[in-house]
């Protein structure tokens, strides 16, 4: 058993506070990996519904185990993108944290050699637009979290007008190219602004351990 102070000073706690402030009662956790993000939300006091999407077989198995005893946490084995169908996803060596439908660029692999692709899987892909009636009820205050390793633009395109029904979004954005065709920070922030969201908080992300340079961060944005 680990005993520690309630982490009110952590970035994760402060980001979760924003969910309470804006009355979020449904989180769409896209790119859930093994459930770390949703577990963090629960640890920091979020008690609403969660729907997690993770297509890679091994992390999905762990995700399903974590969610099994939480009646408000649903998991689905889908990639989220801009078209419906089946896609090939490259599986990374670092417990699928860097797995992506896009090719990985040398900068990423050189910074963290364990993130290099070691396998591939054919997985079902859905769009948020098509999934929406299955997972969202009328009146839900939806927060969309996207962590899909360079595929954020495709997921946003696949959401379409459903973005107008979200009260907030969290995007992993890249400052430098890490995946082939991945969206960079200027385009990502413009996209957020065009849909009426204002950045409210920034969470540090992937940093090159050799140099200390941050390559990615998460930007949490809400409608004012």
Q: Provide the residue ranges of all domains of the chain, joining segments of one domain with +.
A: 11-223
In this predicted structure, what is the pLDDT of residue 97?
Answer: 82
In this predicted structure, what is the pLDDT of residue 54?
Answer: 97
Distance CA 143, CA 52 (A): 12
Position 11 confidence tier, pLDDT thresholds 50, 70, 90 = confident
In this predicted structure, what is the pLDDT of residue 110?
Answer: 93
Question: pLDDT per residue over 132-171, tens digit each?
Answer: 999 999 999 999 999 999 999 999 999 999 999 999 999 9
Distance CA 199, CA 186 (A): 13
Please give the average per-residue pLDDT across 61-86, as a whole number. Answer: 97
Position 59 confidence tier, pLDDT thresholds 50, 70, 90 = very high
Q: What percent of the chain has pLDDT over 70?
A: 97
In this predicted structure, what is the pLDDT of residue 1?
Answer: 77
In this predicted structure, what is the pLDDT of residue 5?
Answer: 64
Please give the average per-residue pLDDT across 37-65, as a whole number. Answer: 96
**CATH code for residues 11-223:** 3.40.50.150
Please give the average per-residue pLDDT across 209-217, as a whole number. Answer: 95
Q: Is the pLDDT of residue 96 over 70?
A: no
Distance CA 173, CA 183 (A): 7
Task: State the pTM of this model.
Answer: 0.93
Contacts 24+ apart (CB under 8 A), 60-67: 62/34, 62/35, 63/32, 63/33, 63/34, 63/35, 66/34, 66/35, 66/38, 66/39, 67/35, 67/38
- Return all residues near 126 (Cβ < 8 A) that are at least 6 apart: 78, 79, 80, 81, 84, 158
Please give the average per-residue pLDDT across 87-109, as a whole number. Answer: 90
Q: How far separated are the first and last CA of the chain, in Å rounded?
A: 41
In this predicted structure, what is the pLDDT of residue 66?
Answer: 95
């Amino acid at each position: 058993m680990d005993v520690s102070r309630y982490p009110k000073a952590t970035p994760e706690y402060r980001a979760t506070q924003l969910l309470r402030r804006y009355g979020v009662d449904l989180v769409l956790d896209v790119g859930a990996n093994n459930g770390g993000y949703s577990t963090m939300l629960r640890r920091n006091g979020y008690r609403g519904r969660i729907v997690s999407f993770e297509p890679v077989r091994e992390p999905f198995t762990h995700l399903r185990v974590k969610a099994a005893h939480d009646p408000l946490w649903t998991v689905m084995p889908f990639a989220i993108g801009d078209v419906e169908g089946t896609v090939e996803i490259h599986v990374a060596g670092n417990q699928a944290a860097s797995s992506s439908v896009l090719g990985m660029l040398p900068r990423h692999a050189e910074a963290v050699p364990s993130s290099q692709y070691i396998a591939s899987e054919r997985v079902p892909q859905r769009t948020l637009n098509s999934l929406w009636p299955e997972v969202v009820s009328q009146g839900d205050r939806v927060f969309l979290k996207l962590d899909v390793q360079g595929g954020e633009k495709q997921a946003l395109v696949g959401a379409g007008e459903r973005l107008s029904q979200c009260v907030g979004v969290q995007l992993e954005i890249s400052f430098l190219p890490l995946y082939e065709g991945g969206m960079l920070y200027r385009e990502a922030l413009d996209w957020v602004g065009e849909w009426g969201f204002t950045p409210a908080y920034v969470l540090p992300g992937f940093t090159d351990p050799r140099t200390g340079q941050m390559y990615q961060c998460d930007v949490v944005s809400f409608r004012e």
